[in-house]
Chains A and B, each alone.
Chain A
Amino acid sequence: MVQQRHAGLKKFTVLTGVAAPLPMVNVDTDMIIPKQFLKTIQRSGLGRNLFHDMRYDHNEKERPEFILNQGIYRQAAILVTGDNFGCGSSREHAPWAILDFGIRCLVAPSYADIFFNNCLKNGILPLLLPQEHVNTLMEAAECGGARATMTVDLERQEVRVSHHRIISFAVDPFHKYCLMEGIEDIGLTMKKAHKITAYEEVQCHTRPWL
Chain B
Amino acid sequence: MAIPLTLFDKIWHSHLVDVQEDGTCLIYIDRHLVHEVTSPQAFEGLRLAGRRVRRPAWTLAVADHNVPTTDWSNSIADDESRLQVETLARNCNDFDIEFLHVNDVRQGVVHVVGPEQGFTLPGTTIVCGDSHTSTHGAFGALAFGIGTSEVEHVLATQTLLQKPAKNMRVRVDGMLRPCVTAKDIVLAIVGRLGTAGGTGHVIEYDGQAIRNLSMEERMTVCNMSIEAGARAGVIAPDDKTFTYLAGLPRAPRGAAWEKALAYWQTLRTDVQARFDSTVTLQAADLVPQVTWGTSPEDVVPITGHVPDPTLATESSKRRAMLRSLAYMGLTPGTPMTDIRIDRVFIGSCTNGRIEDLRKAAAVVRHRVVAPWVDAMVVPGSGLVKAQAEAEGLDRIFREAGFSWRKPGCSMCLAMNADRLSPGQRCASTSNRNFEGRQGREGRTHLMSPLMAAAAAITGYLTDVRSL
Looking at A89, A95, A118, the one whose CB has the most chain B CB atoms below 10 A away is A89
Is A149 close to B, CB under 8 A?
no
Q: Among B30, B87, B149, B159, which residue has its beta carbon within 8 angstroms of that of A41?
A: B87
**Residue of A whose beta carbon sits closest to that of B16:** A199
Least distance between A12 CB and chain B CB atoms (Å): 16
Q: How far is the CA of A110 from the CA of B37 in the complex (A)?
A: 27
Question: Among A41, A82, A114, A174, which residue has its beta carbon within 8 angstroms of that of B22?
Answer: A174
Cα distance A43–B43 in the bound complex, in angstroms: 12
Residue of B nearest to A40 (CB): B80
Contact A174 B199 (CB under 8 A): no
Tell me, yes or no, whether B465 is within 8 Å of chain A by CB.
Answer: no
Task: Judge if B196 is at the interface, Cβ distance under 8 Å.
Answer: yes
User: Are B195's CB and A196's CB within 8 A?
Assistant: no
Decide if A84 touches B28 in the complex (CB within 8 Å): no
Q: Is the CB of A186 within 8 A of B51?
A: yes
A99 to B277, CA, bound (A): 36
**Contact present for A112 and B229 (CB under 8 Å):** yes
Contact in complex: A90, B130 (CB < 8 Å): yes
CA distance A122 to B149 in the complex (A): 8
Q: Is B436 an interface residue (CB 8 A)?
A: yes
Whether A186 contacts B153 by the Cβ 8 Å rule is yes
Query: Which of B66, B121, B131, B153 sits near A189, CB closer than 8 Å?
Result: B153
Residues of A96-149 whose CB lies within 8 A of B = 110, 112-114, 117-118, 121-122
Q: Min CB distance, B28 to chain A, in Å?
A: 5
Closest to A35 in B: B415
Closest residue of chain B to A89 (Cβ to Cβ) is B131
The reply to whether B320 and A24 form a contact with Cβ atoms under 8 Å apart is yes
In the bound complex, residues from chain B placing their C-beta under 8 Å from that of A203 are 28
Q: Which of B53-86 contact A (CB under 8 A)?
A: 54, 58, 65-66, 78, 80-81, 83-84
Interface presence of B231 (CB below 8 A): yes
Give chain A residues whose Cβ lies under 8 Å from the Cβ of B196. 26, 83-84, 87, 110, 112
Interface size class of A (residues with CB under 8 A): 35 or more
Partner of B49, one of A42, A84, A87, A186: A186
- The number of chain B residues with a CB under 8 A from chain A is 77
When distances are taken between beta carbons in the complex, the residues of chain B under 8 Å from A192 are 17-18, 26
Interface contact B414-A114, CB-CB below 8 Å: no
Contact, CB under 8 Å: B26 / A195 = yes
In angstroms, Cα B413 to Cα A40, docked, is 16
A39 vs B81: C-alpha distance in the bound complex, in angstroms?
Answer: 6
Of the listed stretches B233-241, B254-262, B445-453, name the one at the interface; the rest are far from the partner chain.
B254-262
Which residues from A are CB-within-8-Å of B37?
38-39, 91
Alpha-carbon gap, A81 to B295, bound state (A): 17
Kindly list chain A residues whose C-beta atoms are within 8 Å of the C-beta of B295. Answer: 26, 28
Q: Mark B17-46, 1 if CB is under 8 A from A, else 0.
A: 110101010101010000001101100110
Shortest CB-to-CB span from A142 to chain B, Å, is: 15
Shortest CB distance B446–A (Å):
13
Known: A35-B413, A186-B152, A196-B28. A30 touches B260 (CB 8 A): no
Residues of B within 8 A of A113 (CB): 199-200, 229, 231
A24 CA to B323 CA in the complex, in Å?
A: 10
Of B78, B159, B263, the residue contacting A207 (CB under 8 A) is B263
Binds A, one of B94-102, B140-148, B352-360, B361-369: B140-148
Q: With A30-B413, A92-B129, A114-B146 given, can you name 8 additional A-B contacts, CB distance below 8 Å? A: A83-B316, A88-B131, A91-B147, A92-B38, A174-B20, A190-B157, A193-B157, A207-B123
User: What are 17 of the A-B contact pairs (CB < 8 Å)?
Assistant: A1-B48, A4-B48, A5-B48, A5-B49, A26-B320, A28-B295, A30-B432, A38-B37, A83-B196, A84-B196, A88-B131, A117-B146, A118-B149, A186-B49, A186-B152, A192-B26, A196-B28
Give the top 9 A-B pairs by smallest Cβ distance, nearest first.
A121-B149, A209-B252, A39-B80, A118-B147, A41-B40, A92-B147, A84-B196, A90-B145, A92-B148
- Contacts from B to A (Cβ < 8 Å): 17-18, 20, 22, 24, 26, 28, 30, 37-38, 40-41, 44-45, 48-49, 51, 54, 58, 65-66, 78, 80-81, 83-84, 87, 121, 123-124, 129-131, 144-150, 152-153, 156-159, 161, 163, 195-196, 199-200, 226, 229, 231, 252, 256-257, 259-260, 263, 295, 316-317, 319-320, 323, 413-415, 422, 432, 434-437, 440
